[in-house]
Chains A and B, each alone.
Chain A
Amino acid sequence: MNASQIELVCPAGSLPALKTAIDHGADCVYLGFKDATNARNFSGLNFDPPQMREGIAYAHARGKKVLLALNTYPQTGNWASWIQAIDRAAEFGLDALILADPGLMAYATKTHPQLRLHLSVQGSATSYEAINYYRERFGIQRAVLPRVLSMAQVESVIANTSVEIEVFGFGGLCVMVEGRCALSAYATGESPNCNGACSPGKFVRWEDTPRGMETRLNGILIDRFAEGERAGYPTLCKGRFEVNDETYYALEEPTSLNTLELLPELARIGIRAIKIEGRQRSPAYVAQVTKVWRAALDKLKSGGADAFSVLPSWMAELNKVSEGQSHTLGAYYRPWK
């Protein structure tokens, strides 16, 4: 595998973000409808059908691909909305569907056999046995890996499946296995799996108190910030809690995943696509991150792995848009675990 075959997959939470991503060098963008059928169901975000048609036309005119995230789990009563979304995807000419639910995959395979299917990270497939199940059963052509595996484990997955492997390169970091986390459901009743959002904004309260700025999720205190501390969004796994009389980020710090320095190694083991997280982020974020990753991929392609080095300016640009202005290699770095 060489770097020229690695696709850069960028987030498009809106039409301006989509155009920005394409203009700055994305090979593919991924997006969702304005409803619970995708895992970034936030108000003011995502596409209605006319916007989606316009976005697809914009991308296709420039030789780029558009992937539709339909990566939440429908229930009996709302099943029809997801089916409608799949039918629309076929009609609109999207380049692939990103699905998590096997029932939906069965529908897509049967009704629209021409549709290319990707297994969403929400499908929680962490081994080649799991990925090959979806391959054999539904013919999926790509799987997005949860952010839990080491480099050697990713390499082993690639060696044992014909399914293309996509990994997260940059952006907000889930510390839990995607698709296997009910923390938000426990605190608020709404989950990424079924409602398409973690720690939804409507449950968030910011309160300036004599003790400091407090952030709450459905009444539960997630963190408290002293004067001068930058108060972050109360994503519930990134708060400070008390364990045995010690107060600390017990689950995870507010930080972003950044695997830029691992790019040559990821290319060597044969990953086919790098995903940038952040459909909820601004077009400015999309521009910044896409530009840096495009430059890095191009440098790897032209100079090869031996000549590749991460420019300090790239890291500086990326850190500016990182959550908490810091970054981690996540599970690729053993001590992180």
Chain B
Amino acid sequence: MKLALGPLLYYWPRQSVLDFYAGIAESSVNSVYLGETVCSRRHELRLEDWLEVGAVLAAAGKEVVMSSQGLIESESDLKVLRRIVRQAATGQPGFRVEANDMGAVRLLGAAGITNWVAGPTLNIFNPATLQLMMDAGATRWAVAPEMSGAALAEVRAALAAPIETEVFAYGRLPLAHSARCFTARHFNLQKDSCEFRCLSIMDGIALSTREGEPFLTLNGVQTQSARVHNLLGDLPTVMPHAEVLRISPQGSHTPAIIELFRKVVDGDLSPSAALDASRELMVEAPCNGFWHGRAGVEQYIAA
């Protein structure tokens, strides 16, 4: 079982990002996804910087994956995407690409690249679509978080040949993208003059119902769950259906979370003990409903 660190979804100061990945180089994750996937206005790290971070991680023995932006709107978004694909095609430095929209799939195909990751926003819900992506060169499938374990098992069972499968196992759930920036809206600013107010909000901005119940998280143009999707306690039912577990970076304690997953995967800690140990490391209460085919917000414990 491999552990992967998902792309950083928040906008942290440059030095915080560099320090964070220096810590990750020391951790036991196998793969690290890099790059800006949420908002093209964020610029603390440019593509060259991400490639440098990738080189450090690769030297530490990590597999490096550059994630493409989820919502492509402008020609300049396409330029960045083309540069990622071109760079990947040269093989120097070596990294894989995670395709997060069909534009990326088209460009990867045109470049003849055949070892990319089909990202969680490609809407792959059935074997026919997954097979099309595999035929186009996908060699890993990062499953949409909303897909249940049972539905995932059915897709895998129907494939002629297997594909390495990655399950979103930890972190606030990325639920939606918009053209609107909800962080700028909160501060009564327009997106074009957002003053980069999301910078340094390490875990996004909490949104609660009018009864004070935490519900969602505002992260610029992305909306996340308030709760932390946490499959530590479910790993016995997850592991038969995945080869990779994705952990999404959070403001603090990410290395400790990684170590909990590593211990359970290696059989050195029980899933329930790991879930208990993770409680003080989470920014909000846990949930796991999606894995069980229920509302994502639920924390479901099988009877």
Contact = CB atoms under 8 A, between A and B. Distances in A.
Given A127-B77, A242-B210, A250-B218, A103 B190 contact: no
A52 interface: no
Interface in B60-94: 70-75, 77-78, 81
A53 to B, nearest CB: 28
Contacts of B176: 176-177, 180-183, 237
Contacts, number: 213
Contact of B128 (A104, A136, A185): A104
B102 A134 contact: yes
Interface of B: 70-75, 77-78, 81, 101-107, 109, 121, 123, 125-133, 144-146, 151, 154-155, 157-158, 173, 175-182, 184-186, 190-192, 205-213, 215-216, 218, 223, 225, 289-290, 293-297
A251 B205 CA distance: 13
A130 B154 contact: no
A316 B187 CA distance: 32
Nearest to A129: B103
Contacts of B208: 241-243
Nearest to A334: B192
Contact of B179 (A100, A148, A179, A193): A148
Contacts of B158: 76
Contacts of A252: 180
A79 B73 contact: no
Interface stretch (A162-170, A216-224, A307-315): A216-224
Contacts of B144: 182
Given A129-B78, A177-B176, A153 B73 contact: yes
7 contacts: A107-B128, A127-B73, A130-B103, A133-B105, A153-B73, A185-B295, A186-B295
Given A75-B125, A76-B154, A182-B296, A132 B73 contact: no
Nearest to B290: A185
A193 B295 CA distance: 14
A interface bracket (residues with beta carbon within 8 Å of B): 35 or more
A149 interface: yes
A182 B215 contact: no
A293 to B, nearest CB: 24
Contacts of B177: 176-177, 180-181
Given A177-B176, A337-B179, A183 B223 contact: yes
A223 B210 CA distance: 7
A77 interface: yes
Contact of B129 (A102, A124, A153, A336): A102
B180 A336 contact: yes
Contact of B175 (A179, A181, A188, A242): A181
